[in-house]
């Protein structure tokens, strides 16, 4: 099997121009040896890459904007030119069949119960649960163009949570075969014309990437199932949801991402910012202006102390030191050392991840490891968009209907919403009005009587508008 070697051949090309004496060219050497399959990485004939399309000056401006915008942001002074590196990613696509095998849906309702402790009737929200009466099945195309969570950084050299942010743009649509010419760096006035781009090798096996992708798909399916059940049954909550998820047409493809990497020194640690060399998507740890944080904290705590009258003991001195000075120092230190603490936490997560992949299959090629096909995935993305559009149309048809029948009985007016209100708007309006006009909130008989009439009007309106079919019929005909 073919693989990328870590050995490079340098070739010097002399030019007649007096300005340019040589050009350093890096060439990837491929080997057909199978003995080093384990350490070689994915097959060279399957490698694709997203080329550099942005000038380094554009990357520098993106870097400055990322770290300089915002009142609390600390503007980082210009550093040396960034590294231009191709970072390895596995991109995953699959067709997913999921079925809701069981679930409960619940509606929050107001209940009045007698409390022996207070010897009073108390009203509170409770959830009434019911089992979903039927199974629901879905088929969706998952592809990396529509799901950045399926673009998985394939190395441990840098921290995954920071690098992953460069996958949020459309750059993947422009992947091309990975050829040595992509390593040529365009000379500028600020850099050495002999400099070349680097390549970060694959160190995570495709089986590990597929495991990460399955976790992402599972989380997404449960989230979509929760939303579907709440919308379809006009309910407020779900629980005990059980899904059967099956994957087919699974493809895992190796793709190199063109990346500008900026490195700055901060409190003895290196902070890196990653910028996609094609669409300028950016990720990295931000630094914060601790002086501004301290100033805002001091003003906020001083205002709080003045309004509340202090911390309650220690007098003015106690309020000053414990109520203002101590919180201000704590917040300023947190702002200053947040990047270092973030790196520490990310390093712990990286070590755990490295240990977790010990049992994954350690081979580079399987039937589902293929070259990334941009056209095919674009078609899959088109299908995905159509599915999303159809889903949106379904949702709109179930939450905002044609109002040709008018509000003949004043149901929308009673709830204080427009005929185009969503189901969530209607539920929210009902809850607020039901709490306001519930008869148990009033003491005099006259007030209870008026509240009861109002509560009945609200309940009658909600009983129609919360039901998708009843609301559609009411909007069309003006009748229930």
The pLDDT of residue 148 is 92
CATH 3.40.50.620 fits 400-480, yes or no: no
The pLDDT of residue 46 is 93
The pLDDT of residue 237 is 94
Sign of CA dihedral 301, 307, 311, 313: positive
Rounded to the nearest 5 degrees, what angle is found at the Cα of 142, between the Cα atoms of 141 and 147? 140
For the stretch 350-373, pLDDT in tens is 999 989 888 899 999 899 999 998
pTM of the model: 0.71
**Mean pLDDT throughout 433-446?**
78
Long-range contacts of 375-380 (CB under 8 A, 24+ apart): 377/93, 377/143, 377/144, 377/145, 377/172, 378/145, 378/173, 380/93, 380/141, 380/143, 380/145
The pLDDT of residue 480 is 67
For the stretch 410-433, pLDDT in tens is 888 888 888 888 887 787 788 778
CB 236 within 8 A of CB 107: yes
The pLDDT of residue 259 is 97
For the stretch 124-168, pLDDT in tens is 888 999 999 888 999 999 989 889 999 999 999 999 999 999 999
Mean pLDDT of the chain: 81
Structure confidence at residue 402 as a pLDDT band (50, 70, 90): very low
Counting residues of the chain whose pLDDT is more than 90, the rounded percentage is: 43
Which range has the worst mean pLDDT, 246-250, 317-321, 434-438?
Answer: 434-438
User: What string of DSSP letters covers 68-99?
Assistant: H-STTB-PPPP-SPPEEEEEEEEEEEEEEEEE
Per mean pLDDT, which of 86-100, 106-120, 169-183, 286-300 is the most reliable?
Answer: 86-100
C-alpha pair distances (Å), 187 with each of 24, 150, 192, 380: 11, 34, 7, 38
CB 154 within 8 A of CB 47: no
Comparison of pLDDT for 37 and 289, the residue scoring more: 289
- 364: nearest Cα among 143, 45, 7: 45
Domain ranges of the chain: 3-104+134-287+369-381, 400-480
- 409: nearest Cα among 361, 478, 333: 478
pLDDT at 110 over 60: yes
Sign of CA dihedral 364, 369, 374, 377: negative
The pLDDT of residue 15 is 38
For the stretch 170-206, pLDDT in tens is 899 899 999 888 888 766 555 554 467 899 999 999 9
For the stretch 51-61, pLDDT in tens is 999 999 999 99
Give the up-direction half-sphere exposure of residue 47: CA atoms within 13 A in the CB hemisphere.
26
Structure confidence at residue 391 as a pLDDT band (50, 70, 90): very low
The pLDDT of residue 32 is 30
Counting residues of the chain whose pLDDT is more than 70, the rounded percentage is: 81
Which range has the worst mean pLDDT, 115-119, 129-133, 317-321?
Answer: 317-321
d(CA 55, CA 277): 8
Comparison of pLDDT for 52 and 304, the residue scoring more: 52
Which burial class, exposed, middle or buried, applies to 12 when counting CB atoms under 10 A from its CB (0-12, 13-18, 19+)? exposed
């Amino acid at each position: 099997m073919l693989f990328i070697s870590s050995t490079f051949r340098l070739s010097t090309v002399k030019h007649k121009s007096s300005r340019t004496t040589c050009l350093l060219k890096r060439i990837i050497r491929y080997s057909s040896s199978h003995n080093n399959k384990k350490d070689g990485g994915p097959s060279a004939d399957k490698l694709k890459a997203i080329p550099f399309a942005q000038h380094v000056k554009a990357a520098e401006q993106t870097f400055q904007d990322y770290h300089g915008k915002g009142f609390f942001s600390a503007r980082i002074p210009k550093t040396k030119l960034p590294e231009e590196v191709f970072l390895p990613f596995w991109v995953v696509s699959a067709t997913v069949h999921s079925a809701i095998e069981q679930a409960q849906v619940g509606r929050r309702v107001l209940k009045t119960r007698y409390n022996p402790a207070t010897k009073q009737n108390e009203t509170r929200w409770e959830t009434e649960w019911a089992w979903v009466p039927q199974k629901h099945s879905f088929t969706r195309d998952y592809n990396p163009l529509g799901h950045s969570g399926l673009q998985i950084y394939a190395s441990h050299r840098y921290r995954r949570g920071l690098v992953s942010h460069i996958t949020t743009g459309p750059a993947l649509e422009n992947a091309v075969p990975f050829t040595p010419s992509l390593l040529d760096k365009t000379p500028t006035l600020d850099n050495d014309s002999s400099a070349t781009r680097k390549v970060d090798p694959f160190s995570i096996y495709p089986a590990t990437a597929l495991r990460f992708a399955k976790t992402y798909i599972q989380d997404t399916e449960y989230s979509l199932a929760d939303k579907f059940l709440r919308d379809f049954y006009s309910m407020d909550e779900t629980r005990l949801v059980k899904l059967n998820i099956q994957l087919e047409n699974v493809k895992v493809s190796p793709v190199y991402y063109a990346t500008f990497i900026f490195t700055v020194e901060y409190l003895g640690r290196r902070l890196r910012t990653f910028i996609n060399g094609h669409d300028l998507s950016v990720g990295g740890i931000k630094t914060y202006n601790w002086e501004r944080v301290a100033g805002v904290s001091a003003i906020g705590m001083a205002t709080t102390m003045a309004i509340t009258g202090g911390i309650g003991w220690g007098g003015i001195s106690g309020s000053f030191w414990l109520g203002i000075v101590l919180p201000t120092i704590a917040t300023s230190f947190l702002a200053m050392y947040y990047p270092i603490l973030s790196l520490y936490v990310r390093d712990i997560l990286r070590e755990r991840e490295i240990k977790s992949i010990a049992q994954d299959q350690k081979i580079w090629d399987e039937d589902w490891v293929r070259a990334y096909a941009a056209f095919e995935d674009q078609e899959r993305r088109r299908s995905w968009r159509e599915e999303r559009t159809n889903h949106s149309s379904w949702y709109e048809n179930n939450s905002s209907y044609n109002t040709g029948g008018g509000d003949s009985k004043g149901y929308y007016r009673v709830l204080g919403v427009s005929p185009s209100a969503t189901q969530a708007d209607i539920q929210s309006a009902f809850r607020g009005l039901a709490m306001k006009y519930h008869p148990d909130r009033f003491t005099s008989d006259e007030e209870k009587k008026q509240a009861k009439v109002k509560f009945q009007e609200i309940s009658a309106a909600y009983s129609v508008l919360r039901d998708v079919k009843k609301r559609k019929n009411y909007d069309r005909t003006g009748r229930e």
